[in-house]
Amino acid sequence: MPVYCAGFEDPAGGLARPCIFAHDGNGGRARPTGKRCMLCCLEKLQQALSSRVAKGNLHRLLKHWRRIGSPTYEAAFGLGSLCALSTNEHCLLRARAGEGCDFDLQTSWLHKKKQRLEHFVMGRPIPAASPDISQGSQKYLKAKAKWHKGNRDFRLHWRYRQYRVKEPFANIKTRCKRRTYWRGRNAIVRGMRRAWWRARRILKTKYLAAMAAGPPYNRSGLKWAVEEGLLETGIQVPLADGAVQLCQPRWSFLTPAGDVLYFESLDDRKSSKTKRLQSAKVSINNAFGRPEYAIDREEYVHDWSSRMIRNGVIFSPPYVDSMLERLGFKLQLLREYSAWPAGASGLLQIRSTTGSAAAGYWAALIPIEGRVYLLDAFQRGPALIENMQHAVQVYTTYAMVPF
C-alpha cells in the first residue's frame, strides 16, 4: 500500500497543511520514503541539500514542473520548505531548473561583459577632447607638453596630448609575429591607453595639490583642468598651512565658472566682538587674494579694540585706511557703481544681516574676468554678485586703490 506525505510541518507547531508536491505536478500528495517529503519537512530538505544525489533529484523535479507548466513549481518556493532558504539559494535552484535570472540591465554586469573583455585586451579607449575647450586651454596644454627648464611635468602633459591624438591607434605596426596578451599590436595599444589614464590620474592629483598649496595660483592651468574634467567646479580645498587654524581656516575655492579664489573664513558668531574685528583683517586678505595682513596681539589689544568698534558699532574706516598704508593702498569711498574703479584691487564693504550698524562686519568683493564675487568670511564660500549697483547702494563700500 503506497505511503503518502503527511503534509507540511509547521515549525511553529500549528496544524499541518496538505501536501501538494506530487511528482506529476497535478497538486496531489507526494509519495516519500518516510513520513514527509523534502518539500514539507525542513530537516529532510537540509539532508537533501547536503547530498549530491538527493540535490540532483530536487533539481530534476523542479525542472520537470517548470517544463510542463505546473503551478506546483512556484508553490514549491512560496508554500513549501524552500521558502526558508535565502534569495541567493532560490536563484541557484531556479537556474538549475532552467529558468533565466531576471537581471536589471542597468545594474547587472552581464551587459558589460563584452565591453570589459575588450578593455582587458585593448585597454580603455581614450575619450575625445571636449568641443567646448577654449583656445587658451589648448595653448596651455601645447606649451606644457614641450620641454623647457623648470617644466618637470612635461612628460605627463606630452603623453596626455599625443596619445589622445593617436587614438584609436590604427597606425600601430609591430614585427612581432607571436601575438599573445603580452606581445603584439593589442599589447602596444593597451600599454599606451593605460599610460594615458595613469597620466590623467597623476595630473589630477598634482592640480589638487596646487590648489592646496595656495596662492599664487596657476589660473590658466586650473582652467584647463576644469575644462578637461580633472577638477570639478564648486570644490573647496583646504590650504596646507591653514588647516591647522581651526578658528580661521583658509581655502582655495573653485567657482562654478572655473575661477579660483583664495578664501579665509570665520565661524558664524557675528555678535562676537573679536570675530567682527577679525573680519576686517580677513577681508583685506580676501581682497588681495593672499595672506597679506596680520594683527599681532599687542596691536589688537591697544588699537583695534579701541578704534575700530565703540559701543558695538563699526565707526572708523579711516583706521582701516591707516592699516592699508603698510601695503601701499588706501580706501576710497564708492558712492555709486557704473564700472569697476580704475586700479582698485578689491572692494571692502560694511555689511549687516539685520540692517543695524551694531551688527556690522567687513566683507570683500573682487573681480575676475568681468565677474564680481563676494567673499564674506561668515559664509561657507564666495558668492557671485549679480547686481553690483544695488550692492553698492545698500552697503557702505570702499575701493582699495594704490597711492
Phi, psi of 283 (to 5 degrees): -65, -35
Question: For cell 542597468, what's the residue?
Answer: 106
Mean pLDDT of 83-104: 80
pLDDT digits (tens, 9 = 90+) for 264-305: 887 665 456 667 777 888 888 888 888 776 655 445 444 555
Residue 326 pLDDT grade (very low, low, confident, very high; cuts 50, 70, 90): confident
Question: What does the pLDDT read at residue 372?
Answer: 92
Q: State the alpha helices, DSSP H only, in 72-112.
A: 72-78, 87-96
Question: What does the pLDDT read at residue 297?
Answer: 46
Question: What does the pLDDT read at residue 189?
Answer: 87
Residue 243 pLDDT grade (very low, low, confident, very high; cuts 50, 70, 90): very low
Element (H, E) at 382: none
Mean pLDDT of 324-338: 84
pLDDT digits (tens, 9 = 90+) for 363-401: 899 998 889 999 988 888 888 998 888 888 888 888 888
Is the pLDDT assigned to residue 102 strictly greater than 70? no
Question: What does the pLDDT read at residue 279?
Answer: 81
Question: What does the pLDDT read at residue 244?
Answer: 43
Question: What does the pLDDT read at residue 298?
Answer: 47
Is the pLDDT assigned to residue 142 strictly greater than 80? yes
Question: What does the pLDDT read at residue 148?
Answer: 81
Is the pLDDT assigned to residue 105 strictly greater than 50? yes
Mean pLDDT of 238-249: 61
Q: Are 330 and 302 in contact (CB under 8 A)?
A: no
Domain with CATH 3.90.70.40 in the chain: 236-402
Is the pLDDT assigned to residue 206 strictly greater than 90? yes
pLDDT digits (tens, 9 = 90+) for 146-195: 888 777 888 999 999 999 988 888 777 777 666 676 777 888 888 899 99
What does pLDDT average to over the chain?
Answer: 81
Q: Are 362 and 400 in contact (CB under 8 A)?
A: no
Is the pLDDT assigned to residue 139 strictly greater than 90? yes
Mean pLDDT of 37-42: 88
Question: What does the pLDDT read at residue 109?
Answer: 55
Beta bridge partners of 264: 250
Question: What does the pLDDT read at residue 266?
Answer: 79
* Percentage of residues in the chain having pLDDT higher than 70: 82
Is the pLDDT assigned to residue 49 strictly greater than 70? yes
Cell of 67: 517544463
The whole-angstrom distance between residue 262's C-alpha and the CA centroid of its chain comes to 21
Question: What does the pLDDT read at residue 179?
Answer: 67
Residue 345 pLDDT grade (very low, low, confident, very high; cuts 50, 70, 90): confident
Domain 236-402 CATH (choose: 3.90.70.40, 3.50.50.60, 3.40.1280.10, 3.90.550.10): 3.90.70.40
Residue 103 pLDDT grade (very low, low, confident, very high; cuts 50, 70, 90): low
Helix axes 135-144, 154-166, angle to 10 degrees: 120
Q: Are 291 and 250 in contact (CB under 8 A)?
A: yes
Is the pLDDT assigned to residue 235 strictly greater than 90? no
Q: What angle do CA 259, 260, 261 make, to 5 degrees?
A: 115
